[in-house]
Structure 1
Amino acid sequence: MSVSKKLVVIVAMEGTALLDIAGPCDVFSQANKILRNDAQQPGDGYEILLASAVEDHHLKTQSGVELVCPVTIEELDRPIDTLLIAGLGTEFLQYNLHHFYEWLNKVYPRLRRIGSVCIGAYALARAGILRGRRATTHWQYTQDFQDRHPEVQLDTNPFYTRDGNVYTSGGLASGIDLAFALLEEDYGRDLAAQVAKRMVIYLKRPGYQTQFGELLDHHRLANTLAGKLRPWMTQELHQDLSVERLAAQANMSPRNFARVFLRESGLTPAKFVEKLRVETARKYLEESDLSIEQIAEKCGLGGMVSMRRVFLRHISVSPSDYRRNFRTSLHA
């Protein structure tokens, strides 16, 4: 083996999502094939090594597939070029894996770069590596991550982020986006594009992670004014939903209603209603054959131009592009 191969270590533990590991692995391994067979492509590629974050070499993924890690993190005794922390499974959030975080702090200064996939960002945050840095994680964990790690500049909009030599990616498949970014950084866009073509996926996915996320946390809002009024509001989206009308429905004065609503939900009534309109419109785009103009009218979003503007503001994609990407198979 060439000594110039870049050693990429992917750290996993019980409950890791298989795609967090397999996605980046396939990007790097496909790059190796091209580098090996194409004399025009300089470079020796990557060596990929799976390491267990705990003492057990045998780990079961979320899908039930069992992995055998050749080494544990404590057994690693070679220079690491790139260290990636896979999404470690929600169970690990309940434990204080001090030895793991101490190990991360010990090896980090010797790495060319370090990164995380999905909720692997929690490990980097707990080790203090993300302090003061911009980072992302799975959109579902936005509020929880912010509550646990306010010292991190969290942005769950992009598929991946880079801050210095620290990289983080969003949910699951975003690890593939991150791997492409690392590959392009190492060997250029041409090689990365060749790998993307072989894998039949985008080199750079259009849009943002927010396309996949929910604009409103209905579970958290269940016992608030917003949560209690939501079913009624959903039926009335085609009507004017002013503060005065909402307050009357709640048997409150407009001033007190607006104050309580903001305190409980963190949103003004107007902002909540707009997000609810977008969420409802998304469901129609996914599941119905209604035209975009009809959906805009049903959801109180005005016409097509207004609906497009609101969609771009909230989820960075137009209604027509959203329908094309997310329509259910029954309406494909």
Structure 2
Amino acid sequence: MTKVRDVLFILFDGVVGLDVAGPLEVLAAANAYRAGRPPATPDGAAYRIRTASPQGRAVRTSSGLTLSPDLDLYAAPVPHTVLVPGGSTTPDGSLVLDVDVVAWLRANAPRCRRTASVCTGAFLLAEAGLLDGRRATTHWSRTAELATRHPAVRVEDQPIFARDGRIWTSAGVTSGIDLTLALVEDDLGRDASLTIARHLVLFLRRHGNQQQFSTQLRAQTAERPGLREIQQWIADHPDSDLSVDALAHRASMSPRHFTRAFTAETGVPPGRYVDRTRLETARHLLEDSTDSIDHIAHRAGYPSQEAMRRAFHRTLGLSPLQYRTQAGHSPAPH
């Protein structure tokens, strides 16, 4: 008989609603997935999901939504997994950290099998001393602050989520969905997480070592419609001729004028933008397909497998095969 895991979401005034709702929907979808596959649990579920707040009082989210918890936090049994969402800020930009939540985490989180945070929930874990000596991440705008306030924490500003033993932390808001999908994969397997990602109509199931920003988000969006179309063309056709001459011709500009305009409006020279896009495409294919390394190199627009290998080593310090293995995929033939 399959084990049911108790998951406790901690609520507090100013909690970010999506930090709660996104992961909760993933776990609810995991229960629906599990219910249709033997061996069944007593109630057909993989997770028993509860919410709790200090004194069991209703809380108001950062967007004004009122949430009614299931339990008083201090009366809640110690769960298998505790999930701590992020919270709001004061008018001067300071984080509001609920002292009751910090005290509960300090006393009880060490007895949980897993502790996870979404976005600035990492600050609550850090205040409770749970992140000392561990890798952790949080929203990109707060990583420097987390590192300054808690120098014993090994803060990473790139990944969308990080796991260090039984402690999981994630970046901003929607990355909580990615983290929870990883928790489900850890519990129920890869098929479960991919099925749920499709059910939730996610554009892409992202892995923890993926950067918080895609190429298009890290660069600026061009003001001119013609250049925005070029950005989209690059993303949609990484295996096409993306030389400056070819892109300039598509934009109806001279190569020199195109290079100046593209760089001025996106903040990135066209060649570097293309390099980033191809690397990002290759990473996605390595994570979410079983295509061979050679085929992925071709689909991502590299002239050869060796050219892709050099790009990976230069940027990530890994070979494509090593990257695929770290992403949890079985190696595909070369």
Q: TM-score, normalised by structure 1?
A: 0.65
Q: Distance in 2 between matches of 1:135 and 1:304?
A: 33
Aligned 8 A contact 1:134 1:153 in 2: yes
Q: TM-score, normalised by structure 2?
A: 0.65
Q: CA deviation at 1:74?
A: 0.8
Q: Which residue of 1 aligns with 2:193?
A: 192
Amino acid of the residue matched to residue 45 of structure 1? A
Q: CA deviation at 1:209?
A: 0.6
Unpaired segments ≥5 residues, structure 1: 216-278, 322-332
Q: 2:274 aligns with which of 304, 308, 323?
A: 308
Q: CA deviation at 1:5?
A: 1.6
Q: Distance in 2 between matches of 1:35 and 1:126?
A: 36
Q: CA deviation at 1:31?
A: 1.0
Tell me the alpha carbon deviations over residues 43-65 of structure 1, each in whole angstroms, 9 at most, x when there is no partner. Answer: 8400111111x335111112221
Q: For 2:115, what is the secondary structure of its paired residue?
A: strand
Q: Which residue of 2 aligns with 1:156?
A: 157
Aligned 8 A contact 1:193 1:203 in 2: no
Q: Which residue of 2 aligns with 1:245?
A: none
Q: 1:283 aligns with which of 208, 221, 238?
A: 221
Q: Which residue of 2 aligns with 1:169?
A: 170
Q: 1:3 to 1:306 in 2, by over 3 A?
A: closer
Q: 1:74 to 1:178 in 2, by over 3 A?
A: same
How do 1:136-147 and structure 2 match up within 5 A?
136-147=137-148
Q: 1:67 to 1:155 in 2, by over 3 A?
A: same
Q: CA deviation at 1:144?
A: 2.1
Aligned 8 A contact 1:85 1:117 in 2: yes
Q: 1:127 to 1:140 in 2, by over 3 A?
A: same
Q: For 2:79, what is the secondary structure of its paired residue?
A: coil
Is residue 212 of structure 2 the alignment partner of residue 209 of structure 1?
yes
Amino acid of the residue matched to residue 73 of structure 2? I
Structure 1 segments (4+ residues) deviating >6 Å: 40-43, 212-215, 300-303
Most deviating of 79-88 and 147-156: 147-156
Q: Distance in 1 between matches of 2:192 and 2:2?
A: 21
Aligned residues: 247
Q: 1:104 to 1:303 in 2, by over 3 A?
A: closer
Q: Which residue of 1 aligns with 2:234?
A: none
Q: CA deviation at 1:7?
A: 0.5
Q: Which residue of 2 aligns with 1:274?
A: none
Aligned 8 A contact 1:12 1:87 in 2: no
Aligned 8 A contact 2:88 2:96 in 1: no
Q: Which residue of 1 aligns with 2:26?
A: 27
Q: 1:184 to 1:69 in 2, by over 3 A?
A: same
Q: Percent identity?
A: 32
Most deviating of 138-147 and 199-208: 199-208
Larger radius of gyration: 1
Q: Which residue of 2 aligns with 1:228?
A: none
Q: For 1:38, what is the secondary structure of its paired residue?
A: coil
Q: 1:47 to 1:103 in 2, by over 3 A?
A: same
